[in-house]
Structure 1
């Protein structure tokens, strides 16, 4: 009984994590970015990793990712 409950909880947690990861990935898909320098703005480019600076959600998303990283490291 306990093993089935543990498995069900684990499966739900994995499903929730995958859904959240897809949401976070969708926030940064096909978003043009540029860099501001003393010479002006750079040409637009697509960033493939990281979080957007200045986005109100960035600190929250960073916190979620760090929590997941900490859990994974502690499990090892």
Structure 2
């Protein structure tokens, strides 16, 4: 039989099924924060009287929806 601790074995098996999960979660959080900050800056420029390009606004809103959704789906199912 194996001399590996059962808890360690369980963690290692889980890591092989979903590699780099921690790194992915950090990236989703960073990208979500960047998207929301970009949207806030864009809206503040618009509120101060600047022009707002519709394409850029749609990209920012899309990023604000996609990255938190990816973070939600990447959570632990346990």
Q: Which has the higher contact order (CA 8 A, sep 6+)?
A: 2
Q: By percentage of residues, which structure has more helix?
A: 2
TM-score (normalizing by structure 1): 0.44
Task: Please give the TM-score of this superposition, normalised by the length of structure 2.
Answer: 0.43
Structure showing greater radius of gyration is 2
Q: Which structure shows the bigger proportion of residues in strand conformation?
A: 1
